[in-house]
A and B are shown apart, each in its own frame.
Chain A
Amino acid sequence: MANILNVKIFLWLSLSVIFLATGLNADRITEKIYQRIDEGFSCFRRLNGTHQIGCSSSQSGNVGVVHFLETKLDFDWLLKVGPDAPYVVLLPPDLFRRENLMTLKNSGKIAGVVVLNQTDTTLRNPAPKPPYSNDLTCPNKITGLYKEDAFSSYCDSNPWNPAGDGLLFEDFKFPIFFINETKLNQSVLLNDCYHKFNRPIEGTPPSYPLCAIELKAFMWAAVDTPTCLRRGRLNMMFNPQPSEYCDPLGNVNIFVPVLAANKSDGPVSNRSIIFVSARMDSASIFDGLSIGADSAITGMATLVAIADMIFQFKSDIRRGDIENVFLVLFNGEAFDYIGSSRMAYDMTLGKFPKPMKEENPSQSPLIGLEHVKYWIELGSLAPQAGNTKVYLHTDPKSRSDSGVDTKVKDLISILQKNQGNLTTESIVDASIPLPPASLQSFLKKDLTIPGLFISNHKNAFANQFYNSEWDTFQTISSYKLSKHLADIARTVSASIYELATGQQMPSYIQVNETLLESTLECYLVNANCSLFNWLLNGRSNLASEMVLPTYVGVSHGDGAYKALSLRTRHLLAMISGEPLDVNKTGCINSDHNEIYHYYWLGESESNNASGTCYRSTVKTSHAVSPAFEIENYDWASGEYSSWTESRWETFSVRIFLKASSLQAVSIFVFGVVVLLLSFAVTYWVETNSVLLFPASPEAVAC
Chain B
Amino acid sequence: MDIERLKNDAKLVLCRKYYYGGFAFLPFLWTINAFWFFKEAFYKPQFEEQPQIRQYVIRSGIGALLWMVIFISWTCVFQINRASWAELGDQLSFVIPRGIP
A residues sitting closer than 8 Å to B (CB atoms) are 56, 59, 218-223, 227, 230-231, 234-235, 238-239, 245
Interface size class of B (residues with CB under 8 A): 10 to 19
Instruction: Digitize B77-101: 1 where CB-to-A-CB distance is under 8 Å, 0 elsewhere.
Output: 0000000001100110111101111
Q: Contact between A231 and B99 (Cβ–Cβ < 8 Å)?
A: no
Q: Contact between B99 and A56 (Cβ–Cβ < 8 Å)?
A: yes
* A-chain residues with CB within 8 Å of residue B100 when the two chains form the complex: 222
Q: Contact between A231 and B101 (Cβ–Cβ < 8 Å)?
A: no
Known: A222-B100, A222-B101, A223-B101. A239 touches B95 (CB 8 A): yes
Q: Contact between B98 and A234 (Cβ–Cβ < 8 Å)?
A: no
Partner of B96, one of A59, A219, A235: A235
* A-chain residues with CB within 8 Å of residue B90 when the two chains form the complex: 227, 230-231, 234
Chain B contact residues: helix, strand, loop or mixed = loop
* A-chain residues with CB within 8 Å of residue B91 when the two chains form the complex: 234
* B-chain residues with CB within 8 Å of residue A231 when the two chains form the complex: 90, 96
Q: Contact between A220 and B101 (Cβ–Cβ < 8 Å)?
A: no
* A-chain residues with CB within 8 Å of residue B98 when the two chains form the complex: 59, 218-222, 245
The chain B residue sitting closest to A227, CB to CB, is: B86
What would 19 more interface pairs be, CB under 8 Å, given A230-B90, A234-B93?
A218-B99, A220-B98, A221-B98, A221-B99, A222-B98, A222-B99, A222-B100, A222-B101, A223-B101, A227-B101, A230-B87, A231-B96, A234-B90, A234-B91, A235-B96, A238-B94, A239-B94, A239-B95, A239-B96
B68 to chain A minimum Cβ distance, whole angstroms, is 27
Q: Contact between B99 and A220 (Cβ–Cβ < 8 Å)?
A: yes
* A-chain residues with CB within 8 Å of residue B87 when the two chains form the complex: 230
Whole-angstrom CA separation of A227 from B85 in the bound complex: 11
Whole-angstrom CA separation of A220 from B101 in the bound complex: 10
Q: What 9 pairs across the A-B complex have the smallest Cβ distances?
A: A220-B98, A231-B96, A223-B101, A219-B99, A222-B101, A222-B100, A234-B90, A222-B99, A235-B96
B83 to chain A minimum Cβ distance, whole angstroms, is 8
Whole-angstrom CA separation of A219 from B86 in the bound complex: 19
Whole-angstrom CA separation of A220 from B87 in the bound complex: 17
A634 to chain B minimum Cβ distance, whole angstroms, is 15
* B-chain residues with CB within 8 Å of residue A245 when the two chains form the complex: 96, 98
* B-chain residues with CB within 8 Å of residue A221 when the two chains form the complex: 98-99
B86 to chain A minimum Cβ distance, whole angstroms, is 7
The chain A residue sitting closest to B97, CB to CB, is: A222
The chain B residue sitting closest to A234, CB to CB, is: B90
* A-chain residues with CB within 8 Å of residue B95 when the two chains form the complex: 239
* Contact residues, B54-73 vs A (CB, 8 A): none
The chain B residue sitting closest to A233, CB to CB, is: B90
Whole-angstrom CA separation of A166 from B61 in the bound complex: 61
The chain B residue sitting closest to A649, CB to CB, is: B98
* B-chain residues with CB within 8 Å of residue A223 when the two chains form the complex: 101
The chain B residue sitting closest to A238, CB to CB, is: B94
A266 to chain B minimum Cβ distance, whole angstroms, is 50
* B-chain residues with CB within 8 Å of residue A227 when the two chains form the complex: 86, 90, 101
* A-chain residues with CB within 8 Å of residue B94 when the two chains form the complex: 238-239
B3 to chain A minimum Cβ distance, whole angstroms, is 33
Whole-angstrom CA separation of A363 from B93 in the bound complex: 48
A218 to chain B minimum Cβ distance, whole angstroms, is 6
Chain A CB within 10 Å, residue with most, of B93, B99, B101:
B99
Whole-angstrom CA separation of A222 from B95 in the bound complex: 15
| 28 cross-chain CB contacts under 8 A | A56-B99, A59-B98, A59-B99, A218-B99, A219-B98, A219-B99, A220-B99, A221-B98, A221-B99, A222-B98, A222-B99, A222-B100, A222-B101, A223-B101, A227-B86, A227-B90, A227-B101, A230-B87, A230-B90, A231-B90, A231-B96, A234-B90, A234-B91, A234-B96, A235-B96, A238-B94, A245-B96, A245-B98
